[in-house]
């Protein structure tokens, strides 16, 4: 939708200019009462403006102005408000965390007693699986691709690069038990850094295999993906090897890029100047349009952000080494599921804008399908999305793991590593579409792009699934 005429806009250009003056004024640490009376769309537009203002100050090292913007945002943002209020709450926390990192002692002291419970991690991953259809669709497509690839095989070995959800393999065991030629001997090698997660999966899958009378072995490997010892995978001659990677490969793009940044831990001071003014051209658009149209015409991704940063392909020796090692195992099939987003840009503003697009869509999914108050929703938003946003915005170098990239980058990277992109199963696509239709929400869509699949919310692609084999 194009910009509305000035007369029909719910937020006129003059009011946005007033917003601009207010947000940059040091005298407005406590906003005027009228801010509380803004309509939802006006408030959403103003929150976006304040977030961009704040990010600009953070990136340039203007901490006093950043603090003023943060204080204003906290008066309007809320983790249990509407979509934009919720998003703003987590982006504000991420920007504040980035500022604190410029004082490492203070940052460490404030986080020194923070407890990260494995049970919480397991719970939030389970909630993500239940509240969204993304993983279910990925599992359906992956399992169908595996079923077709191993037809007639007697020995099958599956390597799961992030074994956190047993539901995928329970479903596959049930399919294999119904094979006319009888089930194969199945070995699953599961990689995860938490022993408890692997123990839970081992128990669930062993129980299911015994019930279905399928010869089964479970090989747990307690390791981060970046430290994985390929020898421990124990790949044997004569077995059909399959690799499944769900939302994991992007973490291998983390690299020590400290040398590419300015000395300030806040990041480069010379921002690409076109981003910020463009983002403020949203004066004639409502919040609803903003969320539907990629912050609505207000920001055009730069060539860098559209193609991702130079770090993506040029500085990912860890990724190259890992993919080459996988290729050396000669898997019959590899299926890769990844977030389909540009979150690996080299500048803070670039990543913030791209992340606003993606997480606005994810938060909107929940707004459209789950009421605002359930604890489950708050947990997913805070413990999963909030932590991802914080990593994307507040972290740099090897610490920044959430380096999500678009499908075309993965195609380029996997092709360079010696893999050939192959079409996903037509029957798998039918199953995935049926699954989405049964979800009872029109916003979710599934589309084929060449040989691959993208899962959308409205018109925003959020996840990609692609299948690969080794080039002969």
Q: pLDDT tens-digit profile of 334-353?
A: 999 999 999 988 889 999 99
pLDDT band at 93 (very low <50, low <70, confident <90, very high): very high
Going by the DSSP 8-state scheme, the letter that residue 341 receives in this structure is: S
Strands in 322-376 per DSSP E: 333-339
- With H, G, I as helix, E, B as strand and everything else as coil, classify residue 222: strand
**Residue in 45, 85, 96 with CA at minimum distance from that of residue 279:** 45
Tell me the CATH class for 130-254+314-340+405-470. alpha beta
Q: Does residue 100 register a pLDDT over 90?
A: no
pLDDT score at 324: 92
pLDDT score at 103: 84
Q: Which residue has the tokens 């990136």?
A: 59
**Residue in 125, 86, 21 with CA at minimum distance from that of residue 372:** 86
pLDDT band at 276 (very low <50, low <70, confident <90, very high): very low
Going by the DSSP 8-state scheme, the letter that residue 33 receives in this structure is: G
| Contact (Cβ atoms closer than 8 angstroms) between residue 99 and residue 61 | no
Encode pLDDT of 186-212 as tens digits: 999 999 988 988 999 999 999 999 999
Chain centroid offset of residue 125 CA: 13
Helix (H) or strand (E) holding 113: none
Torsion, Cα 252 391 90 66, to 10 degrees, reads -140
What mean pLDDT do residues 393-404 have?
A: 90
Torsion, Cα 148 154 155 159, to 10 degrees, reads 20
pLDDT score at 472: 75
| Contact (Cβ atoms closer than 8 angstroms) between residue 128 and residue 159 | no
Q: Does residue 327 register a pLDDT over 90?
A: yes
Encode pLDDT of 343-392 as tens digits: 988 889 999 999 998 999 999 988 888 877 788 899 999 999 999 999 99
3-class SS shares of the chain: helix, strand, coil, % to 5? 55, 15, 30
Going by the DSSP 8-state scheme, the letter that residue 416 receives in this structure is: H
> What DSSP assignment string belongs to 244-283?
EEES-GGGGG----GGGS-SSTT--SS--TTHHHHHTTGG
CA 155/CA 299 separation, integer angstroms: 52
Q: CA 83 → CA 108, 124, 171, 271, 466, distances in Å?
A: 31, 20, 34, 28, 31
Q: Which of 71-85, 119-133, 300-314 has the lowest mean pLDDT?
A: 300-314
What mean pLDDT, rounded, does the chain reach?
80
List, in order, residues 6 or more apart from 161 with CB less than 8 Å away.
Answer: 191, 225, 243, 244, 245, 246, 248, 249
pLDDT score at 317: 83
CA 159/CA 17 separation, integer angstroms: 56
Q: Does residue 234 register a pLDDT over 80?
A: yes
Q: Which of 31-35, 327-331, 465-469 has the lowest mean pLDDT?
A: 31-35
pLDDT band at 36 (very low <50, low <70, confident <90, very high): low
pLDDT score at 147: 94
Q: Does residue 246 register a pLDDT over 90?
A: yes
CA 436/CA 431 separation, integer angstroms: 9
Q: Which of 66-75, 117-126, 280-289, 427-436 has the lowest mean pLDDT?
A: 280-289
What mean pLDDT do residues 423-430 have?
A: 92
User: Domain locations in the chain?
Assistant: 38-108+346-403, 130-254+314-340+405-470
Q: Which of 24-28, 74-78, 105-109 has the lowest mean pLDDT?
A: 24-28
pLDDT score at 33: 60
What mean pLDDT do residues 1-25 have?
A: 40
Q: Which of 63-67, 157-161, 248-252, 308-312 has the lowest mean pLDDT?
A: 308-312
Q: Which of 58-62, 216-220, 370-374 has the lowest mean pLDDT?
A: 370-374
């Amino acid at each position: 939708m194009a910009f509305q005429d000035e007369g029909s806009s719910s937020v006129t250009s003059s009011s946005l200019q007033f917003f601009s003056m207010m947000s940059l004024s040091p005298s407005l640490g406590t906003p005027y009462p009228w801010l509380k009376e803004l309509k939802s769309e006006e408030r959403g537009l103003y929150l976006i403006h304040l977030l961009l203002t704040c990010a600009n100050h953070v990136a340039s090292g203007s901490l006093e102005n950043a603090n003023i913007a943060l204080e204003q945002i906290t008066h309007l943002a809320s983790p249990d408000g509407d979509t934009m209020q919720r998003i703003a709450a987590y982006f504000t926390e991420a920007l504040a965390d980035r500022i604190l990192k410029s004082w490492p002692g203070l940052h460490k002291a404030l986080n020194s007693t923070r407890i990260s419970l494995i049970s919480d991690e397991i719970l939030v991953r389970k909630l993500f699986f239940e509240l969204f259809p993304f993983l279910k669709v990925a599992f359906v497509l992956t399992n169908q691709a595996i079923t077709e690839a191993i037809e007639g095989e007697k020995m099958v070995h599956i390597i799961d690069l992030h074994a956190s959800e047993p539901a995928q393999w329970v479903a596959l065991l049930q399919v294999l038990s119904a094979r006319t030629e009888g089930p194969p001997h199945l070995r699953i090698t599961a990689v995860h850094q938490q022993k408890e997660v692997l123990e839970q999966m081992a128990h669930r899958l062993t129980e299911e295999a015994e019930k279905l009378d399928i010869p089964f072995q479970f090989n747990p490997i307690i390791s981060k993906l970046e430290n994985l010892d390929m020898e421990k995978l124990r790949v044997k001659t004569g077995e059909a090897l399959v690799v499944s990677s769900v939302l994991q490969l992007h973490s291998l793009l983390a690299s020590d890029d400290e040398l590419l940044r300015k000395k300030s831990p806040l990041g480069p001071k010379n921002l690409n100047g076109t981003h910020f003014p463009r983002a403020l051209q949203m004066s004639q658009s409502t919040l609803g349009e903003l969320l539907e149209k990629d912050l609505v015409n207000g920001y055009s991704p730069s060539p860098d952000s559209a193609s991702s940063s130079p770090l993506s392909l040029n500085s990912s020796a860890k990724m190259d080494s890992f993919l080459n090692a996988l290729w050396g195992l000669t898997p019959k099939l590899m299926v890769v599921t990844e977030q389909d987003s540009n979150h690996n840009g080299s500048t803070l503003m670039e990543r913030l804008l791209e992340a606003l697009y993606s997480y606005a869509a994810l938060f909107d999914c929940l707004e459209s399908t789950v009421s605002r108050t359930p604890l489950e929703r708050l947990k997913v938003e805070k413990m999963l999305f909030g932590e991802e946003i914080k990593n994307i915005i507040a972290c740099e170098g090897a610490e920044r793991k959430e380096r999500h990239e678009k499908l075309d980058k993965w195609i380029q990277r996997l092709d360079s590593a010696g893999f050939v992109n192959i079409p996903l199963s037509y029957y798998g696509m039918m199953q995935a579409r049926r699954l989405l239709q049964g979800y009872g929400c029109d916003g979710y869509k599934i589309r084929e792009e060449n040989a691959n699949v993208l899962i959308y919310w409205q018109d925003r692609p959020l996840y990609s699934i692609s299948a690969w084999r080794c080039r002969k």
